[in-house]
Structure 1
Amino acid sequence: MKMIKVPHLVQYQGSKRLLAPKIAQFFPQKIERLIEPFCGVGAISIYAAAHSLCNNFILNDINGPIVDMLEECINSPERLYREYKKIWSKQFLSGMDTVDYYYEMRELFNKGESIPALTLFILARVAKGAIRYNSSGDMNQICDKRRFGTKPETIKNNAVAMSSLLKGKVCLQNKDYKDILKESKPGDLIYMDPPYQGVARGLSSRYINSLPFDEFVESLDFLNQKHIDFIVSYDGKTGNKTFGKNLPESLGCKHLLIEAGRSSQATLNGKEAYTYESLYLSKNLMKG
């Protein structure tokens, strides 16, 4: 594929932005709609739009503030930039330490003041680009003390570029993934990057809701019965350590491992290991 600069709004842990070229090589030649039931910041759809692989998208996520942020970015990028710039700049003008300012903004977020620009600022300043929630449902991720968050002009450039790619082509939803799958039909391609096994529970949960394994398998079987193509990113391995259960062979999927780069944790421990993510292709995508 031709090398094209693909915009991204903000760093987001688990985003498939860097893996998108490897994933997209398994797309069918014709896609009526690309559906992401666990869209996060929509990296795969943005890549597909930038490379003209599809012109019709459904982006869904159970995390409502993330969906609202994407909607503002796509439909009103200049307004998102202006509001973000106000919040971002105030950390230097408030008289507070910038870290204390982050925690004040996080408290506003948890009280329901989750306007798109505030959500974006929180994402821009959290450690490792990871939003995590406690058992009460409050976002509890710490601040990255080394950085002040993405500069407003960078946000503006990327937001405007994303808008030019997706405006008028995308339906944004905030539903349970199973409801989104019920709306799908043959000709669609469903890309799923669900919460990985073992990271959706406990005090450092990365996700609002966990995803029961058996329920997810039933959903994939439902797609098979409707003859709807899907690709699933799901767990993987680092070095000799494998994470999570494999999807059952009864689904008839092709299971691949795609290299996701060197393990940062292994590097910190003075070791060299590479991380591989599991990619599952539905039956029709295996042809050829």
Structure 2
Amino acid sequence: MKLPHPIPYQGSKRNLASQILRYFPANCDRLIEPFAGSAAITVAAAHYFKANRFLINDINTPLTRLWENIINAPASVVKHYHDIWHGQIGKEEPYYYEIRNRFNDTQNPEYLLFLLAKCVKAAVRYNAQGQFNQSPDKRRLGKNPKTMREDILRVSQLLTGRTQVMSTDYQAVLALAAADDLVYMDPPYQGTGKNGGFNYAGNIEFDNFVVSLFDLNNRDIPYILSYDGRTGEKTYGSALPDELNLVKIEINAGRSSQATLLSRDEITFEAVFLSPALVAKIDLGAINTALVGQTELFIE
């Protein structure tokens, strides 16, 4: 069955989820996503029975309110999306800006869902005043309400009754992690936050984040970190300290949309880092033998 994907989000790890899930320990009580976004790894983990419980957090409060509604009140989200989506017919561009203004005035999460489904590249953009300012994709109407309905209902079925949703600083969420949890982190600043040249709700400081990783190591918390990557000769992300003793895995993500557009053969490799506590729980050699041709393994 195809994974449901109700919230379109630039940088989502949905297409890499099956490879990332291979590094989950056999007995994971709770999966924690401090930078959830579209929560693609949570949805995939629920779909494939990789964890018993889930904690979704994002500093973007309207986004987490949307997650709360999708999980606990899916029929309401389905109806609002249906009505908003059909309201655009025949006046698509001015209607988009009308909905964008309504969202900035009210922070209504149902407006945000339509904006994400309709905006350019499903890319979240905020101005210095904290207002959503991404433009519409004029070539499409956004995900059809029927498809959206199916995805919302399926995700609600997967997550209801076993998912906690929060909107707070990531450090407060990491403080809740225990040794039988697994933390999956996809921080916004690596290629999509302050280094990306635009504002996103929740840019974080590199040094503070590294301190948080050391703290997780000291507490023997297993974690997976999606952090840097490379395309052709271009690399992304500042180097992490060797003292963290992380195992780096490069996942072949294929040709980027930009490379395809420019008729280039450049392959994008997305990197994930495995914590010492996680490596101690899994058979890394067996996993990477099964992934020959898909990943490259480095020890750092």
Indicate the SS of the match to 1:88: helix
Q: CA deviation at 1:10?
A: 3.0
* 1:148 aligned onto 2:141: yes
* 1:177 aligned onto 2:170: yes
* 1:226 aligned onto 2:211: no
Q: Distance in 1 between matches of 2:233 and 2:199?
A: 24
1:92-144, Cα deviation, whole Å (9 max, x unpaired) = 2xx6x211110111111111x22222111011101001111112211111100
Could you tell which deviates more after superposition, 33-42 or 207-216? Answer: 207-216
* 1:240 aligned onto 2:233: yes
Q: Distance in 1 between matches of 2:38 and 2:99?
A: 21
Maintained 8 Å contact 1:196/1:234: no
Counterparts in 2 of 1:232 and 1:203: CA distance versus 1, 3 Å: closer
Specify which of 109, 124, 127 is matched with residue 131 of structure 1: 124
Which AA in structure 1 matches 2:229? G
Q: Distance in 1 between matches of 2:191 and 2:235?
A: 12
Counterpart of 2:242? 249
Runs of 4+ in 1 over 6 A off after TM superposition: none
Identity rate, percent: 44
Q: Distance in 1 between matches of 2:220 and 2:206?
A: 21
Which AA in structure 2 matches 1:49? A
Specify which of 2, 6, 13 is matched with residue 16 of structure 1: 13
Maintained 8 Å contact 2:127/2:199: no
Q: CA deviation at 1:188?
A: 0.7
Indicate the SS of the match to 2:88: helix
The alignment's C-alpha RMSD in Å is 1.5
Q: Distance in 2 between matches of 1:149 and 1:58?
A: 28
Maintained 8 Å contact 2:245/2:276: yes
User: What are structure 1's unaligned runs of at least 5 residues?
Assistant: none
* 1:49 aligned onto 2:43: no
Maintained 8 Å contact 2:189/2:196: no
Indicate the SS of the match to 2:208: helix
Indicate the SS of the match to 1:28: coil
Q: CA deviation at 1:279?
A: 0.5
Which AA in structure 2 matches 1:63? N
Counterpart of 2:56? 59
1:221-258, Cα deviation, whole Å (9 max, x unpaired) = 01001110000001210011111212111101001111
Specify which of 59, 82, 99 is matched with residue 105 of structure 1: 99
Aligned length: 281
Per the normalisation by structure 1, the TM-score is 0.94
Indicate the SS of the match to 2:87: helix
Which AA in structure 2 matches 1:274? I
Which AA in structure 2 matches 1:219? S
Q: Distance in 2 between matches of 1:232 and 1:13?
A: 18
Counterparts in 2 of 1:127 and 1:218: CA distance versus 1, 3 Å: same
Specify which of 77, 84, 87 is matched with residue 84 of structure 2: 87
Indicate the SS of the match to 1:18: helix
Q: CA deviation at 1:203?
A: 9.4
Counterpart of 1:263? 256
Could you tell which deviates more after superposition, 40-49 or 198-207? Answer: 198-207
Q: Distance in 2 between matches of 1:154 and 1:26?
A: 30
Maintained 8 Å contact 2:221/2:278: no
Counterpart of 2:22? 25
* 1:38 aligned onto 2:63: no
Counterpart of 1:76? 73
Specify which of 172, 179, 188 is matched with residue 186 of structure 1: 179
Maintained 8 Å contact 2:193/2:200: yes
Q: CA deviation at 1:202?
A: 8.0
Indicate the SS of the match to 1:54: coil
Indicate the SS of the match to 1:133: coil
Specify which of 185, 188, 193 is matched with residue 195 of structure 1: 188
Q: Distance in 2 between matches of 1:61 and 1:241?
A: 29
